[in-house]
Chain A
Amino acid sequence: MPIRLLLILALLLPLTAQASHEKAGTDRGEALYRQHCAACHGYDGNGGVGVPLALPDFQYSVTNKFLETTIRMGRPGRIMPAFSSLSDEDIKAIVKYIRRWAPGKPFRYPVEPVRGDRERGRQLYAKYCAACHGPNGEGGKGTGVTFSRPRDLPIIPPALNNPGFLAAASDQFIKATLMNGREGTPMISFLKQGLSEQDINDLVVFVRSFEQNPLPIEQRPIETEEATIVYDSEYDFQTTINNIKDAAVGNNFIIIREQKLETGFVPKGQENPKQHIIYFCNFGFLNKALAIDPRVGLFLPCRVTVVEKDGKVKVYAINPARLSRLFNNVELNRLCLEMNETYQSIIEDATL
């Protein structure tokens, strides 16, 4: 009897080990998800700055490869970062965890590429897709589902010309999305809208052709190296401060605060008096920037620091063009370049 029991236990052992291994994998996936994904996609996958991953129709229609490639490559310039430092095992663990929200097997797609008429696809795209996905596949504007500020859509239409999307999405995946739509989002079934399967094939071929075109310059991250703008002032310390304030007001900003660099760290009156910060703001500009990406608070408020050291007066500010790369959001490019020019203009007016 004990021998039989031992045999049964020996047979069960691998199953227990496998179950324990699987549980460890899911726990690891959960830990990784909480660390890297939950901030944008929510702990329960309901979305936020990022898209809602728990949407059942999304879960059933995307393959593991789609999810894995998306995590690995991200969506360049479209907020979702590339997690290039995660191992393949880490990524698989995250995908396994994400899959827990909709148990069941995801749809399997044939591997054959879709064949169709690209030119017809272009015409159909302009008629049926461009309104949401942009005339060149650049996607909708905004930052996922965040209820911090009003949004027109529960999900932002993806950028179909994005290299990350094109690498992750197979032809058959795009075709199925067009044929079936995606429940819970504004993406409708174009089969139900009266398009034929051939029309949809033509559309897929056109979307795939985005791969052959380099991203337009406005959809690429800003290339700049220096994180700080520095100017030498030709004026004395106090005159430079006054000039900065005048220049900021002249550029439609309101001075909201002045303080020393050490304010809040030493008792009042004991701060180094030759390190002066001027904070200013244009609330209309700020509101516009936050509507594009709620994380830009990191830039805020606008600030210039005037420092006198060894008899020389220098002026320092962040370089918004450099910071914009951190957000992986090309929609911010224009505002960041504009802000960079404004900083340069204010500081040049004040120092030269």
Chain B
Amino acid sequence: MKTALNYLIIVIATALLQLIMPWWIIALVPFVVYLVRPEKPVVAYAVSLAAVSTVWATYALFLHNATQGSMSSRIAEIFSLPNATVLLTAVSLLSGFVAGFGGSAGALVRQVFVKEAA
């Protein structure tokens, strides 16, 4: 339940904030979430990764389909990738890693200041 809620918070917050903030908000949001909400760093990493990957993958897939891949397929080619699906997967994972490190950093910092009841 806690995990699902964290996941949702990160999805919604990053999706909304990215409309007005730079891309690196995808690291900051998980960091803050796990700074204030207790979680094991590993789990924080996984949930952050899943949440932000979901956001990027969903929006990128939407744009890719809406434009019939007219730009994404060409960019995939420029980066010597076989197709836009590979690009999309790589991009989503990349965003996930960034978020994951943000989230786990939040959880680790919290452990310095807050002694969690086991």
Are A and B associated in one complex?
no
Residues of A within 8 A of B (CB): none
Residues of B within 8 A of A (CB): none
